[in-house]
A and B are shown apart, each in its own frame.
Chain A
Amino acid sequence: MNNRPAPELADLRTRIERLEQTGRPDCGVLPFGVGPLDAALPQGGLARGALHEVAGGGDGAVDGAVAALFVAGIAARLPGQILWCVTRPDLFAPALQQAGLDPGRVLYVEAGDEKSLLACFEEGLRHGGIGAVVGEVARLSMTASRRLQLAAETSGVMGLAVRRWRRATDAADFGQPTAATTRWRVSPQPSSPLPAPGVGRPRWFVELIRCRAGDCADFTLEACDEKGRLALPAQLADRPAVSAPRRRRAAA
């Protein structure tokens, strides 16, 4: 079967996109710089004026450590100040610096409860003069996420919701629909063994669970380096030549 989209279809797509974009500034995207990851996202990167949800898998749903670093890596590659809203102040700033997020760029907001956290989150998105707003929330209803998404669309600021629950059983909440543009789940994976004793660069299993105008996908990636960049694991990037032709056909 010929997978190449017909020119009429492409034309239709751009027209629909233009209809959807009416009245909104096009804020562009932030590419990850990792080929397969950017290819899975509609415009070749993470949309700027939009809300994105990230949760950790397994225990990460409660401690949110992996999700926080994933988000810090994204925020590190955006210019400007970052507003980071939390209810539980257990984030360790040196780790964010190691993910490329300079401490002088982060402004922390310690909200008393989820409600005021969402209010601060929205306020930050509406302000428009900052790079991104990160909010560590447990419950994110359709209404709340819609407000955040609209605020992000008007100002062009990227909203990053780190979903983090009190108990592991509450994480079933992640199945509920929200208005976020993309939804990610990031879980740790065993790192590749080193020739000497020790631990290597952390490896993440990154699932793109939901993506507006795009398909679901999952990736195995090396964690953020000191500039906040993800990378493909060495054996995937330089895979044996046997599998290469098949892959090319599938992508054509």
Chain B
Amino acid sequence: MAASQAQALVPGLQVHDADAAGDAAALDRLAHWAQRHYAPVCAADGPDGLAIEATGAAHLKGGEAGFLADLEARLAAAGIRARAVMAPTYGTAHAVARFAPDLSIVAEGGIGRTIGDLPLAALRLPDALLPALSRLGFQTILDLERQPRGPLTLRFGPDLGRRLDQAYGRSFEPITPVIDQTLPRAERLFADPIGAPETLARYVAELVTDLCLALERDGLGARRLDLHCQRVDHRLETVRVATARPLRDRRRLTRLLCDRIETIAPGFGIERMTLVASIVDPLDWRAAPSGLGEAEAPDVSGLIDVLANRIGRDRLYRLTAVESDVPERSVRRTAPLAPDSATAPGSTATWASDWPRPARLFRPPEPVQTLALLPDNPPTHFTWRGVRRRIRRADGPERIHGEWARSDAELWAVRDYFQVEDEAGERFWLFRAGDGEDARTGPQTWFIHGKFG
């Protein structure tokens, strides 16, 4: 449609010239953003897309579905409407994102079924080829796939077969990651490809030394390192490690990277290794403790880094108090190096020290059968997991009211907690959902919520 025609249809239409260079630059910035937040290998894809190598990165966002949801939500928050698709190959993901609107995750074995029905435009072919193919009656990718390859290549050139193979995952297609030239980096090229783990470790140490010199020059410390190993078959093996504090200790950084060398598959050999400090923070010299006062507390950030890179950053945590009487809400996970919330200003949350609390808390509470006198006597016995226990001693009730400020459903809710001891001396934490009199406060059924030591 011509611009003049559009202006005639819509009054007050604003017309801007297309800015291809500006779009490409913006897309590049988006790729850098994705590299910081999601995975070390990200690239701008054509005029309107973003390619992210999510292998080994999806679990950090709660699996593939969580990864996609997180990506879409963050883009939407920035005012970008986007469709995110996860697929085993770059070609499939590209095609499905643009031409299959109701699919978001393609399984490993599902490529053939998924892309067979898509139109030929999904194949990333040169524009000149598409009309010629449709003149011959090819509509979908499956139509092409069923044809013998030889005559097709003779007539349309090698591009067609290559794109088909890439879409079906028969040939590998590397994603060339965007590189932020402003970040400190170190690189080694190898005339002879290397592959032995010991050799890799030696060169990792050399790269770290170079990088630490660069970091020291700028007064920076690395918060995250990306090690890209380019193999002779153009595949890229990437290792990403993060640190809890800005760091430029050569020994510790080498240790973190060498822990992960086993995840690098060298294939026929690695011809280029690049080490990038993808997140850096200022790190200045610090005065050493004089030794006159108390000894400085040992630094555990090294241990935290090693463990976090081994099992995942969110699986290493401290537990701090939350101002809530409901037991399961009274504990919150915080980052291992977060300032202690008990000593932080503005937070006064602590746990009550004079009320009994069980060593193990059952989430969710498990229902038990009991016999108890209403309204506030402890049960005389209870049956839990098929075992009937007589109660010898009991303490309670400790009444905990629902948090009406949190939800309307809890306006009247009441739990009466009892600490009970059975004949063998084992202690349990039972509660009745309700105050024993008023039906509004709960169904008056009994639950076990924990076990004391």
Binding site for B on A (CB under 8 A): 58-60, 63-70, 72, 80-81, 83, 90-99, 103-104, 106-112, 116, 119-120, 123-124, 127-130, 187-191, 193-194, 197-200, 202-203, 223, 226
13 A/B residue pairs, CB under 8 Å, sorted by A: A63-B360, A65-B451, A91-B361, A93-B351, A94-B351, A94-B357, A106-B318, A107-B304, A123-B303, A189-B425, A190-B424, A197-B394, A202-B452
Contact between A63 and B300, CB atoms less than 8 A apart = no
Contact between A107 and B316, CB atoms less than 8 A apart = yes
In the bound complex, residues from chain B placing their C-beta under 8 Å from that of A83 are 303
Contact between B299 and A129, CB atoms less than 8 A apart = yes
Q: A90-B363, A120-B311 are in contact. Are A191 and B393 (CB under 8 A)?
A: yes
Closest to B321 in A: A103
Most buried by A among B306, B319, B336, B351: B319
Contact between B425 and A111, CB atoms less than 8 A apart = no
Closest CB in chain B relative to A145 CB, distance in Å: 20
Q: A104-B340, A106-B319, A190-B425 are in contact. Are A92 and B331 (CB under 8 A)?
A: yes
Closest CB in chain A relative to B37 CB, distance in Å: 23
**B61 near A: Cβ within 8 Å?**
no
In the bound complex, residues from chain A placing their C-beta under 8 Å from that of B453 are 65-70, 95, 99, 188, 202, 223
Interface residue from A90, A108, A116 paired with B361 (Cβ < 8 Å)? A90
In the bound complex, residues from chain A placing their C-beta under 8 Å from that of B304 are 107
Closest to A116 in B: B311
Closest to A113 in B: B311
Tally of A-B Cβ pairs under 8 angstroms: 163
Q: A103-B342, A116-B311, A130-B300 are in contact. Are A92 and B421 (CB under 8 A)?
A: no
In the bound complex, residues from chain A placing their C-beta under 8 Å from that of B203 are none
Q: A70-B453, A83-B303, A94-B331 are in contact. Are A191 and B317 (CB under 8 A)?
A: no
Closest to B315 in A: A110
With A109-B315, A129-B299 known, 10 other A-B pairs at CB within 8 A are A60-B426, A91-B359, A94-B321, A95-B359, A98-B357, A103-B318, A127-B306, A188-B427, A189-B425, A190-B423
Q: A120-B311, A127-B303, A223-B453 are in contact. Are A64 and B342 (CB under 8 A)?
A: no
In the bound complex, residues from chain B placing their C-beta under 8 Å from that of A67 are 453
Closest CB in chain B relative to A250 CB, distance in Å: 28
In the bound complex, residues from chain A placing their C-beta under 8 Å from that of B327 are 92, 94
In the bound complex, residues from chain A placing their C-beta under 8 Å from that of B392 are 190
Q: Mark interface residues in B311-331 (1 if CB within 8 Å of A CB, else 0).
A: 100011111110000010011
**Complex-state Cα separation, A103 to B315, whole angstroms:** 17
Most buried by A among B307, B327, B353: B307
Contact between A90 and B362, CB atoms less than 8 A apart = yes
Contact between B343 and A92, CB atoms less than 8 A apart = no
**B116 near A: Cβ within 8 Å?**
no
**B302 near A: Cβ within 8 Å?**
yes
In the bound complex, residues from chain A placing their C-beta under 8 Å from that of B319 are 93, 103, 106, 108
**Complex-state Cα separation, A200 to B360, whole angstroms:** 19
